[in-house]
Each structure stands twice: as structure tokens, then as C-alpha cells.
Structure 1
């Protein structure tokens, strides 16, 4: 999941940027461009992508006067640092982290002014997993199927960022942004509780396995990513052997691979799959999963 490093405005945006732009100084473990994603293309094999923690990303945009689904940077665990070539107002939200401008501490979770040529650095996550860097006017790399989001599974959209990459900045909305008073940012869960609607393939599992799913304690696996939240804990025993024909997968589907450990499909999930889906987590419950660090306690409960 570590992004490849190369030069490149052309790699990040598909073409050389024009006008104001943002240069990546430190890419971090995984930094991608995300907006609301590209729903509605699953019939063509194209997944949704988009913000994993949509409430946090939209709040950052709201504080800047951006449309709620304007494109932002989503970082994973280690943050990132960027340098704009014009003055810009930015918000760093989502996972709590130390924020600096040219080494000077500035506010997390509120608009800050970044002079032209200064380095905005969002440090490693102190709480949570994914931080969001939003900029007045948004980021405007070339859209693919109506979205600027990176999809790690299909490769659509801008590639994960590397040092030296550049992204074009949009023009801020006219007028002053809304007041930047205290706002309630979503927090990282000490325990992740995910409601489950059983099915469509719960009958492929024993009754004991279904009770285990809804009563046992799990933990978030370090192998989790934007494709799926993997779990550590008791395996679910199947009542049927054999293969299941590939069928459509939805956001929040809990697929159970041969090792028996549930995997919750997140935004970059495949659109089809052949392992049975024991249940589905409603979309509105998945934002907390975006901030659940490896080792976080996890419980599934009946929706």
C-alpha cells in the first residue's frame, strides 16, 4: 500500500498542471486525492472509491466554504506535507495530529492561512488513522467518470501521491468562509461497534458461526486498507462446502474468505466476489471504521 515515488505532475493528474498548484513535499505512507467518489458504475465493474471518513472530509470543506464533496487529500497514519505556490486557506481534520506551517504550530480542525511557498505539514496521527487536508477552492485534478478520487483497486483517478507530485488548486468561492468557531469533530473509536443486517448468504454458515459473529470480540487487523477492514478473532464455520458463483458486492458487505475471518468491504472494494457474504454493515456506520487503528476492539451487533 506504499505509493510509488516518481516525478510527477503527469503521474498525479494525467497532464501538467496549469495555474495555482500544490506540491507534495512529504507523501507519507499513503496519501490520495478523494472526493465523494463515483457511485453508480458498479454494473461496469467500477467501484465507488471516495472519502472513507466522509463526515470528517465534509466538515473540513464546510469550514472553508467549499462544496461538501470538494476533493481533498486523505492521509493514512503518517500524514503528509505540501507546499502551495499561492496563499491558500486550509483545514486539517479527521485523525488528530500536529499541524505546522513552516515549522510553526497552527490549529488542527480549523482554517489556517498558508503563505505561498510555505510548507503545511500534517504530522503522524495521534488519534485515529486518516487525516484530511482540505484547501479553499478544493483540489482539481482531472476527473474520471465524474470523480477526482483515487481508486486503489482499479487504478482509476490520480495515483497515490509521491514526493514532488503536483496537484492543481481550484479557485476559492467568492466571499468570506463561514466563521471558524468550535465544531464537533468525529473522534477515533476506542471500540468499533458495527451493526449488521444478516445475509444474503448467512445460510452458508452454521448457527454457531452466526452467534459467534454477533457475540464474539474481534480486533482490527493491520492488514486492513481502503479495500476492506480485515479482522482478527474467531473463524466463522461454514455449513456448506464448494464454490459460490461470483456475484455483486456492495459497500459494507461482510465477506468471509477461506480462513473464516470476516472482512468488511470499504470504498475501494471489488464490485464482484465469490466468497459468501454473511451480512452487510449500513453505510452510515462505516465512517468510524475509517479511523479504527489496528488492534482496535471490534464487535458486530444485529442492526
Structure 2
């Protein structure tokens, strides 16, 4: 049976597809790929449906050995991909022979890469998705050394291209576009969101990106200290707790929360936020 055997998972490697939308009323997050655009691109390159299951590799360090010949690609930020120690590049279609060692190194900029194989990975589904949800625990466990990952049969024709340009070098600071959220006016000075110089807190993860303010910038403050009942929280929500340090919610975010949702990221900015590394500078721009 064709497949990959994990040699090293790196800091975090997990199965991801486009998630399990439609279950928020049951308290189930959508989950899925943190950078959905990169997942879709990877699957298109190898001729899979955009929703096929791939591997989300967080900050490199991933290695696996092939059983049988396979066709694969790696997307997300530009990075180094090695086949038996030979650099083959990312964002292109790669052939790996039986027994080949496939490695995905940490990208120089960005955080999450997506490894897709033609035919997709065969993974048991929960609520219609094979995604690992780090908040609820639904879906398969994160990948571990010696895990065997079976590959399915291709169900679609070859795509017309076998290479896609990688993303352009990100501006510094990284600019994320927001729209006003339902509780925008809960802030005493809403403009502080866009005026403040932010940096990514190392405690960020697939649930959300936490932002720290530069010491010389005032943090956004609530207009009152009154607590609110919990409300629904969408993907890309920007919550501001009493500390004034915003949280940008990603794929595994909770579906309700008690802090005000003062803004919401655009879809493209959700993907960009998923690639933010600890310490990276960020600006929020109001659309």
C-alpha cells in the first residue's frame, strides 16, 4: 500500500482539510487548515479536490519515508524541500520514489506549510472532516514518529500546471485588513487598534494569534468594565480582553466568547495571520 511513514513530525504536524463547517450550534469549531489558500493551492497542483486531506507542517522539521512512488507538493511560505537530501524546492510537483526520504525544512519567513500527495491521505472522518482540532480534540491526533499515513487513489485529471509561484515576500510589519465588528464601539478609542504597533506573542497557536503592544503605544481599552454574556465568535474575529491585547481567532477558535468582538479579519488576512511567527510585527488596517 502506498503511503508515508513519519520519521520526524517536527514541532507540530497534523492532518487538515477544509474543516467541518455548520456545527457551531453544537459548540464544534470549523477547524481545518489555518491557511486555507495554501491548502487549496497544494491540492490543485497535484490534481486533488481542493478539500482533500493534506499535512499541515508547523515550522518545518518534518520528515517521512515513501512506500511506493508518489507525486507531491509543498505550499505555504517558500521553503526548502529535500528528497533524499537533494533540494527540490516548494510550490512545484515532485516525484518521490519508493523508499525516498521527504523532508520539509522550516521556512525563512512564515510558519505553516502544506504537504499534499496525489490521491490525498486516507484518514477517518469525524463530522465530515479529517482535520485535527487542537481545541476540541476532534479528528486524528497530531502526527507522531512511526505513524503510517496511507494514500488514496487519484480521482481527477491532471491539472494544467505543475508549478505555482510562491507568495511574495511579506511586508514588515505585516498588514492585516479588518472590518468593524459588532462590539467595535465598546472600545473607548477604537482607533487605537490601528494606531498601535503590535508584535506576535509566542503563546499564539492554531486557536488564535495573541498580539502584544509596543511599550510606547497605548493599548485599546474598553469603554466600560461591564461584562457581557457570551456571544458567537466567527473565524477571523478580533477579541479584545480587558488587558487590551487583541486575539485574532484562527481555525480552531471557540465558537462563543465573553470578550467583545471589536473587529473581523478579511478571509485573505485570516490566511496571512496563520503565517505569523512569534515576534513578527503587525499592523491592523481598517477597511
SS at match of 2:176: strand
Q: Tell whether the 8 Å contact from 2:91 to 2:165 is kept in structure 1 after alignment.
A: no
Kindly state the Cα deviation for residue 174 of structure 1 after the two structures are TM-superposed: 5.8
Map of 1:179 onto structure 2:
161
Match of 1:102 among 84, 99, 110: 84
Kindly state the Cα deviation for residue 107 of structure 1 after the two structures are TM-superposed: 2.7
Structure-to-structure mapping, 1:69-80, within 5 angstroms: 69-80=51-62
Does residue 165 of the first structure (1) align with residue 147 of the second (2)? yes
Q: Any idea what the Cα deviations from partners look like across 1:121-155, whole Å, max 9, x if unmatched?
A: 01122221111111010112001111111110001
Q: Any idea what the Cα deviations from partners look like across 1:22-80, whole Å, max 9, x if unmatched?
A: 21111000111111111111000000111111222211111111111211111111341
Does residue 240 of the first structure (1) align with residue 224 of the second (2)? yes
Q: Any idea what the Cα deviations from partners look like across 1:199-222, whole Å, max 9, x if unmatched?
A: 31223220x2x1211222111222
Match of 1:221 among 188, 196, 201: 201
- Return 69-78 or 279-288, whichever deviates more: 279-288
Q: Could you list the runs of 5+ residues in structure 2 that have no partner in the other structure?
A: none
Q: Could you list the runs of 5+ residues in structure 1 that have no partner in the other structure?
A: 1-18
- Return 73-82 or 264-273, whichever deviates more: 73-82
Q: Tell whether the 8 Å contact from 1:34 to 1:148 is kept in structure 2 after alignment.
A: yes
Does residue 294 of the first structure (1) align with residue 278 of the second (2)? yes
Map of 1:14 onto structure 2:
none
Q: Tell whether the 8 Å contact from 2:45 to 2:162 is kept in structure 1 after alignment.
A: yes
Structure-to-structure mapping, 1:57-76, within 5 angstroms: 57-76=39-58
How high is the TM-score relative to the length of structure 2? 0.93
Equivalenced residues, count:
282
Q: Tell whether the 8 Å contact from 2:222 to 2:242 is kept in structure 1 after alignment.
A: no
Kindly state the Cα deviation for residue 259 of structure 1 after the two structures are TM-superposed: 1.5
SS at match of 1:126: coil
Equivalent-residue separation in structure 2 for 1:188 and 1:34 (angstroms): 25
* Residue 278 to residue 62, structure 1, CA distance change in 2 (3 Å): same
Does residue 189 of the first structure (1) align with residue 196 of the second (2)? no
User: What is the Cα-based RMSD across aligned positions, in Å?
Assistant: 1.6
